[in-house]
Structure 1
Amino acid sequence: MIDFRLEEEHEALRKTVQEFAREEVAPVIGDYYERGEFPYDIVAKMGQMGLFGLPFPESVGGMGGDYFTLCLALEELARVDSSVAITLEAGVSLGAMPIYRFGSQEQKEQWLPKLVAGEALGAFGLTEPGGGSDAGATRTTARRDGDSWVINGTKAFITNSGTDITRLVTVTAVTGERDGRKQISAIIVPSGTQGFAVSKKYSKVGWSASDTRELSFADCAVPVSNLLGQEGRGYAQFLSTLDEGRVAISALSVGLAQGCVDECVRYAGEREAFGHKIGEYQAIQFKIADMEARTHVARLAYYDAAARMLRNQPFKRQAAIAKLISSEAAMDNARDATQIFGGYGFMNEFPVGRFYRDAKILEIGEGTSEVQRMLIARELGLTRPWQ
């Protein structure tokens, strides 16, 4: 029997985060967004609730949940605001999870307690100014010099990398070459390390209350023991990290899409035109019905990908499908919601204005829609003619 109902603990968690998002985030996040200010107090509350520790075992200070609980939390947060949701997603999936998955016992003991408690944030330095989707074109290098790795290069668009509570960035760098191919490794660089510079915040179209920066490394030396996992396995580690992250971004996208539905249903029941509530007009009803249908399908897609991941089954194709479908649903719903709100939808004081600005990056970050289609095709056995 197929049953899509949430288990009791999952439903309890979802309701708790939903209440937090509505009562603690929604009333204040608009001001943070307009100021382009990082919401430290909200992040601290999320840490106290245990949200940063959701998918980690109690042995490392986590809540003993699973990755699906994180996805449910992200959906409910993004239903209200995506800046807060992406801060949690990146803090867990890109900051703490690589250390939990691939770190040594010493690295776990050093970094995980504060990361899973939300008292500190970690970031993942992959993208570079000249290479986003083509991660294999990494130019940042790390060479051995005695007991140190000496890192040189630049990273771009790195989330959570420059806050007051950021404690580390895990950086991918070329550490050698084998059979004519670059060997890419992942190395932990603590914040404040000499030679590691964090730029000022980007001026972004959306996610204005999240932290995103460019990073530069100039003869930045860290101990050899800061290597994360095996030397030369950084690329494979990052692919694994992104597969999981795409499920999380899908959940976040579903949250934004659902938030658009919520706002439009409310507005359609209040706004009058030509003597009637606009929700009485079939043109509006059909548009909102399409929005709800997109959201429902996208949610099922990420539920399926998450279920396969938790069963330790292959889920790369399902993660790519979920990320593709949900990010496009978020973008379509944000556009339709803005249309339904009319002039008010173009005002930042209304949530749909933020939703519209936040939605586009979901089709780009953690693998563009084009990359997702490429992955799906490849999983189906379709290859490029030069392969």
Structure 2
Amino acid sequence: GKDWIIKGEKCWSTNAKWSSHVVVHAMTDPKSKPGHRTTCFIVPMDDPNVSYQEMAGKDLWSQSSTGSIAFDDVRVSGDAILGKENEGFKVMAQSLNGGRLFIAGMSLASLAFALDKCRTYSQEREQFGVPIGTFQRVQDVIIDMDITLEQGLTWLIDLTNRYDNDTLDRESAAKVKIECSRRASDHLTMAMEICGGVSSLDEFGLIRHHRDLFVCRVGEGSNFALKGFAARPLMPDITLQ
């Protein structure tokens, strides 16, 4: 089959530093109708025309690598196509569904960590001679965290089963990612206020989860962008920006 020449750059590439290959979503037919203009290619990172630059200064997700990949006239054959030619959008959409479920799960994991920290701390820390867990405001925060966690897990498990059965729509994956990351982030802030100054210590863990939840809000599509996308089926008679 015909060869393709890939030229361009992808910033904010996660863990490409350790990857042997990357999937490149490239424009192959710009004049075609939307959804049929791109193709996904599997490209080896050791190609001489592929270069990688680590991005410095990141203050979250320290366990992962983030960098920029440059493709300088990289030649690939038709055998490198993932899926079908000019159906790259379909491939990426399916991948993003799974990625958004993953982000929702990570958000709930951070929330579960915060709930455990707050439950323990509120029973040990005393004010006015009693544990702070006896105060109704503290109880309100803790039970709200527990309710949100249970709701999120129930929702996520249902969507994961639909994903496994290939019946998950993109809007549902977007909505669970939006809600779980947003609610977990809000609850982490309240958890830190309950635990006070100790929350600022990396050793305690809450501040790290709070920082990392920012990635959950913007990763796999920012929440702001996904809200507009998810709202379209709710108002099919008008064009949403």
TM above 0.5: yes
2:168 is the counterpart of 1:168? no
The residue that corresponds to 2:76 in the other structure is 222
1:23 aligns with none
Q: TM-score, normalised by structure 1?
A: 0.58
CA distance in 1, matches of 2:135, 2:84: 61
State the alpha-carbon separation in 2 of the partners of residues 238 and 148 from structure 1.
Answer: 21
Q: Which residue of 2 aligns with 1:37?
A: none
In structure 2, do the counterparts of structure 1 residues 386 and 245 end up closer, same or farther at CA, with 3 Å as the change threshold?
Answer: closer
Alignment of 1:190-269 (within 5 A): 190-269=44-123
Measured against aligned partners, the alpha-carbon deviations of 1:218-253 in whole angstroms (never above 9, x if no partner) come to 122233321212111111211111122212211111
Kept after mapping to 1: 8 A contact 2:96/2:220: yes
State the shift of 1:255 in Å.
0.9
Structure 2: stretches of 5+ with no match in the other structure: none
Q: 2:93, 2:170 within 8 Å by CA — same for their partners in 1?
A: no
**3-state SS in 2 of match to 1:373:** helix
Structure 2 vs 1, CA of residues 148 and 288 (structure 1 numbering), >3 Å: closer, same or farther? same
1:189: which partner in 2?
43
Indicate whether 1:177 and 2:22 are aligned: no
Listed as ranges, the matches of 1:345-384 within 5 Å are 345-382=199-236, 384=238
Give, in angstroms, the shift of residue 188 of structure 1.
Answer: 0.9
How far does residue 354 in structure 1 lie from its aligned partner after superposition? 0.5
Query: 1:351 deviation in Å?
Result: 0.8
Q: Which of residues 111, 135, 138 in structure 2 aligns to 1:284? A: 138
CA contact (8 A) 2:178 2:223 kept: yes
Distance in 1, matches of 2:39 and 2:78, equals: 12
Query: Using the alignment, how far apart are the partners of 1:360 and 1:260 within structure 2?
Result: 15
* Aligned equivalent of 2:197: 343
| Segment of structure 1 superposing worse, 190-199 or 303-312 | 303-312
Question: How far has the Cα of 1:172 moved from its partner?
Answer: 0.7
Q: Report 1:1-387 matches (<5 A).
A: 148-163=3-18, 166-179=19-32, 183-382=37-236, 384-385=238-239
Tell whether the 8 Å contact from 2:159 to 2:168 is kept in structure 1 after alignment.
Answer: no
Task: Name the stretch that deviates more: 153-162 or 203-212.
Answer: 203-212
Q: 1:225 to 1:310 in 2, by over 3 A?
A: closer
Q: For the Cα contact (< 8 Å) 2:12–2:66, is it kept in 1?
A: yes
After superposition, what is the alpha-carbon deviation per residue over 1:179-201, rounded to whole angstroms, capped at 9, x for unaligned? 47672111111121111111124
Q: How big is each residue's C-alpha offset from its partner over 1:154-195, in whole Å with a ceiling of 9 and x where there is no partner? A: 1111111002xx211111111223347672111111121111
Checking the alignment, whether the CA contact within 8 Å between 1:338 and 1:345 is kept in structure 2 is: yes
Match of 1:12 in 2: none
* Aligned-partner Cα distance in 2 for 1:386–1:361: 26
- Post-superposition shift, 1:274? 2.5
TM-score (norm 2): 0.90
Q: Which moved more, 1:313-322 or 1:275-284?
A: 313-322
Counting matched residue pairs gives 240
What SS does the corresponding residue of 1:232 show, helix, strand or coil? Answer: coil
**Partners of 2:123 and 2:136 in 1: how far apart?**
13
Q: In the alignment, is the contact (CA less than 8 A) between 1:183 and 1:233 conserved in 2? A: yes
1:178 is paired with a residue whose SS is coil
User: What amino acid maps onto 2:16 in structure 1?
Assistant: S
1:180–1:313 Cα change, 3 Å:
closer
- Higher RCO structure (Cα 8 Å, ≥6 apart): 2
Partner amino acid, structure 1, of 2:13: I
Cα distance in 1 between the residues matched to 2:240 and 2:226: 20
Q: Secondary structure at the match of 2:58?
A: coil
**2:37 aligned counterpart, secondary structure:** strand
RMSD between aligned residues? 2.1
- Once the 2 structures are TM-superposed, how far is the Cα of residue 380 of structure 1 from its aligned partner? 2.7
Q: What is the letter of the counterpart of residue 162 of structure 1?
A: K
SS of the aligned residue for 1:230 comes to coil
**3-state SS of paired residue (2:150):** helix
Q: Read off the aligned partner of 1:151 and give its amino acid letter.
A: I
Distance 1:202 1:334 in 2: 26
Aligned partner letter, 2:160: A
1:288-327 per-position Cα deviation (integer Å, ceiling 9, x unaligned): 1111112121112211211222333343332222111111
SS in 2 for 1:247: helix
Distance 1:313 1:386 in 2: 25
